[in-house]
Amino acid sequence: MPQLGLLHGRVWASLLGKLLRPPGAVCIGAVHSHSQGTRDLTPQQMVVREKILDLVVSCFKRHGAKGLDTPAFELKEVLTEKYGEDSGLIYDLQDQGGELLSLRYDLTVPFARYLAMNKVKKMKRYHVGKVWRRESPTIVQGRYREFCQCDFDIAGQFDPMIPDAECLKIMCEILSGLQLGDFLIKVNDRRILDGMFAVCGVPESKFHTICSSIDKLGKMSWKDVRHEMVAKKGLAPEVADRIGDYVQCHGGVSLVEQMFQDPRLSQNKQALEGLGDLKLLFEYVTLFGIAEKISFDLSLARGLDYYTGVVYEAVLLPTPAQAEEEPLNVGSVAAGGRYDGLVGMFDPKGHKVPCVGLSIGVERIFSIVEQKMKTFGEKIRTTETQVFVASPQKNFLQERLKLIAELWDAGIKAELLYKNNPKLLTQLHYCENMGIPLVVIVGEQELKEGVIKLRSVASREEVAIKRENLVAEIQKRLSES
Amino acid sequence: MPQLGLLHGRVWASLLGKLLRPPGAVCIGAVHSHSQGTRDLTPQQMVVREKILDLVVSCFKRHGAKGLDTPAFELKEVLTEKYGEDSGLIYDLQDQGGELLSLRYDLTVPFARYLAMNKVKKMKRYHVGKVWRRESPTIVQGRYREFCQCDFDIAGQFDPMIPDAECLKIMCEILSGLQLGDFLIKVNDRRILDGMFAVCGVPESKFHTICSSIDKLGKMSWKDVRHEMVAKKGLAPEVADRIGDYVQCHGGVSLVEQMFQDPRLSQNKQALEGLGDLKLLFEYVTLFGIAEKISFDLSLARGLDYYTGVVYEAVLLPTPAQAEEEPLNVGSVAAGGRYDGLVGMFDPKGHKVPCVGLSIGVERIFSIVEQKMKTFGEKIRTTETQVFVASPQKNFLQERLKLIAELWDAGIKAELLYKNNPKLLTQLHYCENMGIPLVVIVGEQELKEGVIKLRSVASREEVAIKRENLVAEIQKRLSES
């Protein structure tokens, strides 16, 4: 069976399909957010996360990535001057003696630091971990000051655009597998942007700050972005308008061709390099069968300082209804790009290791899925218990304990009530509420006859089984179900 | 098949069994520790961790635990006065406006805070996550300032010692499953300790500090601990010596009976409660079939302030050789106990929720396993790639890209070299080095005949397969292997 199908099956069968059972299971809990802008994750949320992260990580492994882990905090200097205007959002640790430390802001900079520190010239790695940013949390969007990132990166000197194309393929596989609805991947190139700025007459000193203004398109209207560039950042109005003509453009490979012919842009060496690579990229994504998902978009900038070439961002396409409500809120769920200079910043001799990568916006995806489930009132099992050990009579704790130890030692997921003499009804209700499929019942009668009663919670059927055959019988039933 | 066997199989087959292959796979890397006392985890280390954590988490799930996650940092006040003399090791975040925050020191206090905050009266949860402590790292012991904890806790009012006994059972299942060698679980009770202090004549104000001195037994000799209590903490010598008589004692349930008869201890109400519970605990662990692993040890104290009842600690028993080298270094690999007062500290009305739990010292376990593997020079695969897509001729990048996309879409783990025209030998070497079992080869000849060559890296056998049957054939082979 195709794995994407299988994964999709695994995820949605449990997320959306089987979710109406067990009856009593709890619905995705309300968000437990704290004054400090973080939150606890409830068991229901953890189940959703586990399944989504499983799908993401299997995709990363399918593409040959190795796992890597770096510490939550880095030396403060490692993080400085990597995040442009966002650097103010970095959490610093208090100086309690020793080095000045900061919590990591993303997983990319620590990865680059790792490569340089260990002189690694080639590596395909994935990293799932938390990052921290001092943003004012806007809970609606599922934004918190602590959140999970899933990164995949390819480091090394290779022939152009082959790893870059694989990154786009991975984004497509994951977003299709999660079935979040229709999506589009906007692609641009930092060199095209810089070329565009140059030919429009932006002074080079303003490239970075204008770039981060452009990055706000989508969240802000062109009118507001233009105002920011002119009023706040002192850009000449006519320069802003020239930029305006370009950033309206988006399309397929034909737009790349068109830009090659553009009288102004075609005069800029950098822009031509970027366009050349994009042309190649479109050739490769066509071979990967995902060309119709890719859109060359001159308004895509990406805020981070460290990008040097192609940049991309996956957005979920709003349904007509959504589009009417909030026309500007295109939901970015994955993004990335090429950063050929970052590793060199950590190498004493400045040796460069070209890198390209992507980050899946899993938090956004978690909240979309949780929202869906709330809307459909779907329930979810938070434990995996297969068998419950019960007794109808008093003074059977000893028998129950002996029995359950046998099940545990056989690898069977089993529970009992931590009471000396629970009522049978209480025990059976627990099974129904928790969605436990099987109950093992031991009482005086069974003890005399050397049997155990095995009850199916769903059908309420009970059969007597020889004590010594119990484990085998349970394993048989579980393998069948 | 019994799951422990299965898990043990899964873990050790790959950790110790199959480890000599693939030939070129890399050995567990050297530790990449940083000046700040943290370290990066290499892909080799990540593979070991993934397998060990899989075993631990499956055990927690087998006992019906739900997953829960809490933030890396808590309000500073949440952590204060919970860790006794270790509080100085807490990392604080810099005051950048807003609340004062600290990095979590363990997973227990955040769990208690969660229960109180959400008025949860009953919960069986597990939590795998990192914690941070400003200790001077002693790398030999595998101690770092950032490390992973695996906690299992049972919160709620239940009949005595049933959950406590399950915690000991879980520790046994995990340590047996990991096959780290022979182990012992020391058990004691805070009430017995306090009773012992009282009858020995320790002033109540000194209970906590004397308790943390006793906790150092094992790491320190009785002589040194006695010195600390008398010289540093101002305990009367004869009081210290009375304590000395008790803390030498360890044994099975018979020692519990003996202490019931102890002229001094039997006069102390608290001690008698503790002894009564221990007696019950021994009854239950006997039913669980793990009694021979449990030792009542009056020297076991556990440093943390929040324990209120039974406490336990699992130690690996040194081989005779090890015992000679470092007689005092008993390796604690898991520990826990009962803390009935902690949740109440977070509840505005002080409502209590009794809790008992355990923490697996996975870092210690990771380093033991890594050490073993180094000693045996064992190798490990860091990727899961199943198929490599190669071509013997130039200008076949397009074919390779089309082919690999087909494999990825079928859920097959596949890689190729990011080069336009790699040499066939280079491609085959890559497979051998990375331990990739299958190679798909496409060239002019194959293209003409509408076939693909499928090569087994191990046997070097090649067969031609119809292009349209390739995916099915590969899946057949992979399911067989």
- Look at strands A66-67 and A123-132 and give their pairing: parallel
Q: Which residues of B touch A405 (CB under 8 A)?
A: 169, 287-289
CB B474 within 8 A of CB B412: yes
Residue A151: helix, strand or coil by DSSP?
strand
Mean pLDDT along residues A258-263? 95
Q: Which residues of A touch B68 (CB under 8 A)?
A: 40-43, 46
Inter-chain touch A40–B68, beta carbons under 8 Å: yes
Inter-chain touch B94–A91, beta carbons under 8 Å: yes
Closest CA to A280 of A170, A187, A142: A187
Q: Which of B118, B402, B411 sits opposite A32 (nearest CB)?
A: B118
Separation of alpha carbons B70 and B169, rounded Å: 26
Name which of A94, A171, A388, A415 to mutate to probe chain B: the one with the most chain B Cβ atoms within 10 A of its Cβ: A94
Separation of alpha carbons A180 and A189, rounded Å: 27
**What percent of chain A stands above pLDDT 70?**
90
Quickly state the pLDDT bin for B137 (edges 50, 70, 90).
low
Separation of alpha carbons A150 and A60, rounded Å: 9
Residue with tokens 């066939």: B424
Residue B40 Cα distances to A72, A73, A346, B29, B37, angstroms: 10, 11, 16, 11, 11
Res A326: pLDDT: 59
User: DSSP string covering A432-449, please?
Assistant: HHHT--EEEE--HHHHHH
Mean pLDDT along residues B384-400? 97
Res A381: pLDDT: 92
- Give whichever of A213-227, A359-373, A400-414 has the largest mean pLDDT: A400-414
State the helix-helix crossing angle for A362-375 and A43-62, rounded to 10 degrees.
130
CB A76 within 8 A of CB A83: no
Judged against a pLDDT cut of 70, whether residue B91 lies above it is answered with yes
Res A325: pLDDT: 66
HSE-CB of B151 using CA atoms within 13 angstroms: 28
Residue A150 Cα distances to A177, A357, B145, B410, angstroms: 15, 11, 24, 22
Quickly state the pLDDT bin for A347 (edges 50, 70, 90).
very high
Cα end-to-end span (Å), chain B: 19
In whole numbers, what is the pLDDT of chain A averaged over residues? 89
Separation of alpha carbons A133 and A90, rounded Å: 6
Q: Which of A6, A40, A63 sits opposite B70 (nearest CB)?
A: A40
CB B296 within 8 A of CB B251: yes
Quickly state the pLDDT bin for A137 (edges 50, 70, 90).
low
Residue A22: helix, strand or coil by DSSP?
coil
Res B357: pLDDT: 98
Mean pLDDT along residues B31-45? 82
Inter-chain touch A68–B40, beta carbons under 8 Å: yes
Separation of alpha carbons A272 and A254, rounded Å: 15
Note if the bond before A137 is cis, omega within 30 degrees: no
pLDDT digits (tens, 9 = 90+) for A2-23: 333 333 334 444 443 333 333 3
Res A304: pLDDT: 73
Torsion of CA A299, A304, A306, A309, to 10 degrees: -20
Quickly state the pLDDT bin for A37 (edges 50, 70, 90).
confident
Closest CA to A256 of A284, A281, A221: A281
Judged against a pLDDT cut of 80, whether residue B178 lies above it is answered with yes
Q: Which residues of A touch B418 (CB under 8 A)?
A: 154, 156, 158-159, 162-163
Cα Rg of chain B (Å, integer): 28
pLDDT digits (tens, 9 = 90+) for B310-322: 999 999 998 777 7
Residue with tokens 């003409």: B448
Q: Which residues of A87-101 are buried (b: 16+ CB within 10 A; e: fewer)?
A: eeebbbbbeeeeeeb
Mean pLDDT along residues A27-52? 79
Structure tokens at A159: 């022939």
Separation of alpha carbons A274 and A188, rounded Å: 8
Residue with tokens 């959306």: A16
Closest CA to A68 of A122, A123, A156, A127: A127
Residue with tokens 């001690």: B271
Residue A101: helix, strand or coil by DSSP?
strand
Mean pLDDT along residues A31-47? 84
Closest CA to B88 of B133, B25, B142: B133
Closest CA to B281 of B253, B314, B322: B253
Separation of alpha carbons A389 and B229, rounded Å: 49
Quickly state the pLDDT bin for A32 (edges 50, 70, 90).
low
Residue B191 Cα distances to A29, A332, B338, angstroms: 38, 56, 11
Separation of alpha carbons B444 and B429, rounded Å: 22
Quickly state the pLDDT bin for A125 (edges 50, 70, 90).
very high
Separation of alpha carbons A332 and A363, rounded Å: 11
Q: Which of A36, A39, A65 sits opposite B99 (nearest CB)?
A: A36
Q: Which residues of B touch A7 (CB under 8 A)?
A: 411
Res B380: pLDDT: 87
Q: Which residues of B touch A36 (CB under 8 A)?
A: 71, 73, 75, 98-99, 101
Q: Which residues of B touch A69 (CB under 8 A)?
A: 40-41, 45-46
According to the annotation, is A106 in a ligand binding site?
yes
In chain A, whose CA is at the least distance from the CA of B62?
A413
In whole numbers, what is the pLDDT of chain B averaged over residues? 89
Separation of alpha carbons A50 and B425, rounded Å: 40
Inter-chain touch B63–A284, beta carbons under 8 Å: no
Separation of alpha carbons B383 and B88, rounded Å: 41
Residue B432 Cα distances to B435, B456, B458, angstroms: 5, 11, 8
Closest CA to A304 of A68, A63, A154, A133: A133
**What percent of chain B stands above pLDDT 70?**
90
Separation of alpha carbons A376 and B38, rounded Å: 45
Note if the bond before B327 is cis, omega within 30 degrees: no
Mapped to the 3 state alphabet, what secondary structure does chain B carry? CCHHHHHHHHHHHHHHHHHHCCCCCCECCCCEECCCCCEEECHHHHHHHHHHHHHHHHHHHHCCCEECECCCEEEHHHHCCCCHHHHHHCCEECCCCCCCEEECCCCHHHHHHHHHHCCCCCEEEEEEEEEECCCCCCHHHCCCCEEEEEEEEEECCCCCCHHHHHHHHHHHHHHHHHCCCCEEEEEEEHHHHHHHHHHHCCCHHHHHHHHHHHCCECCECHHHHHHHHHHHCCCCHHHHHHHHHHHCCEECHHHHHHHHCCCCHHHCHHHHHHHHHHHHHHHHHHHCCCHHHEEEECCCCCCCCCCCCEEEEEEECCCHHHHHHCCCCCEEEEEEEECCCCHHHHCCCCCCCCEEEEEECHHHHHHHHHHHHHHCCCECCCCCCCEEEECCCCCCHHHHHHHHHHHHHCCCCEECCCCCCCCHHHHHHHHHHHCCCEEEECCHHHHHHCEEEEEECCCCCEEEEEHHHHHHHHHHHHHHC
User: Residue A198: which H helix or E strand, with range?
Assistant: helix A190-200
Lowest mean pLDDT among A130-134, A318-322, A380-384, B424-428: A318-322
Res B425: pLDDT: 96
Residue A470: helix, strand or coil by DSSP?
helix
CB A66 within 8 A of CB A124: yes
Structure tokens at A243: 């930029």
Q: Which residues of A touch B72 (CB under 8 A)?
A: 72, 103, 130, 132, 146
CB A27 within 8 A of CB A374: yes
Closest CA to A45 of B130, B114, B61, B67: B67
Inter-chain touch B40–A71, beta carbons under 8 Å: yes
pLDDT digits (tens, 9 = 90+) for A247-256: 988 999 999 9
Separation of alpha carbons B70 and B105, rounded Å: 12
pLDDT digits (tens, 9 = 90+) for A434-477: 999 999 999 999 999 999 999 999 999 999 999 999 999 999 99
Residue ranges for the known binding site of B are 106-108, 133, 149, 153, 302, 306-307
The residues that bridge with A187 in the sheet, in sequence order, are A296, A312
Separation of alpha carbons B453 and B476, rounded Å: 15
The residues that bridge with A155 in the sheet, in sequence order, are A123, A355
- Look at strands A387-390 and A414-415 and give their pairing: parallel
Give the gap in angstroms from C-alpha A239 to the nearest C-alpha of chain B: 38
Separation of alpha carbons B150 and B358, rounded Å: 8
Q: Which residues of B121-157 are buried (b: 16+ CB within 10 A; e: fewer)?
A: eebbbbbbbbbbbbeebeeeebbbbbbbbbbbbbbbe
Quickly state the pLDDT bin for B31 (edges 50, 70, 90).
very low
The residues that bridge with A465 in the sheet, in sequence order, are A452
Inter-chain touch B93–A94, beta carbons under 8 Å: yes
- Look at strands A250-251 and A294-297 and give their pairing: antiparallel
Nearest 5°: the CA angle B453, B454, B457 is 130
